[in-house]
Chains A and B, each alone.
Chain A
Amino acid sequence: MSEPIVQFKNVHKSFGDVEVLKGIDLDISPSEKVAIIGPSGSGKTTIIRMLMTLEKITSGDIIVDGQNLWKMEKNGSMVEANQKHLRSIRGDIGMVFQHFNLFPHMTILENCMTAPIHVKKEEKTEVRKRSIQMLERVGLGDKLDNYPNQLSGGQKQRVAMARALVMRPKVMLFDEVTSALDPELVGEVLEVIRDIAKNDDMAMILVTHEMDFALDIADKVVFLDEGVIAESGSASQVIEHSQNERLQSFLSRFRN
């Protein structure tokens, strides 16, 4: 097996006195699709926010492509990472948010083009071409000059995915990207994710309550419960052969 692209090593996270993640160990290989499932409040969002550097870790290590994300070497000892260090690694990671977070003052196309141009300093015409291709891929080739507030939730979320993909991350994070959508719009977004999962070789970490979907596309399913990984393995292992009672009762809630 190849070197993991992401490794969590005994990662702990507390908010004040409350420990919400109690020692997470997780390896993700370069093109692996990982679904994180678990009850509300179990710490799913926190895990991927720490990887996106939106939340500091309390202890442990997160390794991204061989580099320690939250720590750096300084005069021979490991110290807390500074902005420069975080920026040097963060480019490998992209994220799609529950509430889209598109930039309202930019058109759809500008939303996709801004970061490759201003962050990665890429050439504008190439970025434009790639952004248009990506927007066509998510089915929005006819909306390039629209502003986000002209779109439906499902369309916004597809733009958000295109915006993240144009940056060519090695790891893509999805935090319940369909849970803010009207039910009839969920399908179109899941279709795009399925397309990405089947055709792109980056690693993906999905937090989702769309159980059937997750089990369908995931190489690995991680069941998080009260801040620990209670079960982890292939979809069939976790779903069909797990003896874990809390997992069984959690899953039963999704079976009509």
Chain B
Amino acid sequence: MDFTYWSWDTFLEALPFVLQGLGITIGLTFSCFVFALVFGFVWTFLQRIQNKYIKAVVTFIMEFIRSTPPLVQLFFIYYALPVLPVIGVTLHPFVCAVIGLGVHFSTYIGEIYRSGIESVDKGQWEAATALNYSTKDKWLRIILPQAFPPTIPMLGNYFIIMFKEVPLASTISVGGILFMARTFGSEHWAYLEPITIVGILFLLLSYPSALLIKKLEKKINHRFNTSVMTKNTNA
């Protein structure tokens, strides 16, 4: 093979260098996701407060976070937060990225939780009341076990979307694969190979994940419809 711009030597040299960032990219994805899963609960909880002022404020904040680019939010936390008086704190770039991306995506995750809860029939609440359940048991035993499973595929999709947004963190010098590729590029004045490696790595990771989530989704549908139909009947 004889490309003018492409060098296999460079490729082989860049590969281990870029791979050094893989742990951080994957770690950041999981950290952001867990943060968003937990913080999503906060939004869902706040949205359920039956007070129109609180509701309006919460909706506004969520809308605000969602309609601002995550990159701007990252820059704000990384560059602007430290220079603010009183609250001015300097955080580790990785922590900034977890908070920035985590909060951004938590607004979507919260929306997913909400849709899950709303998908539970009103009659389920009424039956639970008629059986005199406490509020806590109503949630834990009746509502959430029905609300959660249908959200799993949607949550899985957000996991992949987040994975693909994580390279944004390279802009605040979190050393993921994209950051490593850029560093390699500027040092060797060769960008094509390292960036191609980044692209391949994302493909290699996100495509199988997508398949996995599809499979999970099938399994869930199966459990909630078909397998239930064929489960053995005996006393």
Q: Is A127 an interface residue (CB 8 A)?
A: no
The verdict on B207 contacting chain A, using a C-beta distance below 8 Å, is no
Nearest-neighbor residue (CB-CB) of B123 within chain A = A101
Across the interface, which residues of B come within 8 angstroms of A149, CB to CB?
Answer: 225, 228-229
Q: Quick one: CB contact mask for B105-140 with A, threshold 8 Å, 1 for yes? A: 000000000000000010110110111111101000
Report A-chain residues with C-beta under 8 Å of the C-beta of B129.
Answer: 52-54, 90
A131 to chain B, nearest CB (A): 11
User: Cβ of B51: which chain A residues have Cβ within 8 Å of it?
Assistant: none
How many residue pairs bridge A and B at CB < 8 Å?
A: 78
CB distance from A113 to the nearest CB of B (A): 11
Kindly identify, within residues 70 to 109 of chain A, every residue whose CB is under 8 Å from any CB belonging to chain B: 83, 87, 90-91, 93-95, 97, 99-105
Given contacts A83-B135, A115-B132, contact A97 B127 (CB under 8 A): yes
Q: A91-B132, A101-B121, A105-B145 are in contact. Are A145 and B232 (CB under 8 A)?
A: yes
- Shortest beta-carbon contacts, A-B, top 8: A101-B127, A101-B123, A115-B131, A95-B130, A147-B228, A90-B132, A144-B235, A91-B132
Q: In the complex, A115→B130 CA distance in Å?
A: 10
A146 touches B132 (CB 8 A): no
Interface residue A184 (Cβ < 8 Å from any Cβ of B): no
Interface string of B10-44 (1 = CB under 8 A from A): 00000000000000000000000000000000000
Q: Is B4 an interface residue (CB 8 A)?
A: no
Instruction: Say yes or no: is A143 at the interface (Cβ < 8 Å to chain B).
Output: yes
A7 at the interface (CB under 8 A from B): no
Q: A residues within 8 A CB of B151?
A: none
On whether A118 and B235 interact (CB within 8 A), knowing A101-B127, A103-B127, the answer reads no
Given known contacts A95-B130, A119-B134, what 14 new A-B pairs fall within 8 Å (CB)? A52-B130, A54-B130, A90-B132, A101-B124, A103-B124, A104-B224, A119-B132, A146-B231, A147-B231, A149-B228, A149-B229, A150-B228, A150-B229, A163-B131
Q: In the bound complex, what is the Cα–Cα distance between A147 and B135 (angstroms)? A: 25
Query: Chain A residues in contact with chain B, CB under 8 A?
Result: 52-54, 83, 87, 90-91, 93-95, 97, 99-105, 114-115, 118-119, 132, 141-147, 149-150, 163-164, 167
B142 within 8 A of partner (CB): yes
Give the docked Cα–Cα distance between A103 and B228 (Å). 13
Residues of B close to A100: CB separation below 8 A = 123
Residue of B nearest to A54 (CB): B126
A106 to B129, CA, bound (A): 17
- Let me know if B137 and A119 touch, CB within 8 A: yes
Q: How many residues of B contact A (CB 8 A)?
A: 26
Q: Is B186 an interface residue (CB 8 A)?
A: no
Q: Which residues of B contact A114 (CB under 8 A)?
A: 131, 141
> How far is it, in angstroms, between the C-alpha of A163 and the C-alpha of B133 when the chains are bound?
14
CA distance A94 to B134 in the complex (A): 15
- Which of the listed residues B137, B142, B235 has the most CB atoms from chain A within 10 Å of its own CB? B235
Q: Which residue of A lies closest to B149 (CB)?
A: A105
Chain B residues with Cβ below 8 Å from A163 are: 131
Q: Is the CB of B133 within 8 A of A118?
A: yes
Chain A nearest CB, measured from B66 CB (Å): 32
0/1 string, B205-235, CB within 8 A of A gives 1 = 0000000000000000000110011011111
- Is B146 interfacial (CB 8 A cutoff)? yes
Partner of B233 from A95, A102, A142 at Cβ < 8 Å: A142
- Give complex CA distance A91, B134 in Å: 11
11 CB-based A-B contacts, threshold 8 Å: A52-B129, A83-B135, A87-B132, A95-B130, A101-B123, A115-B131, A118-B133, A119-B134, A145-B233, A147-B231, A149-B228
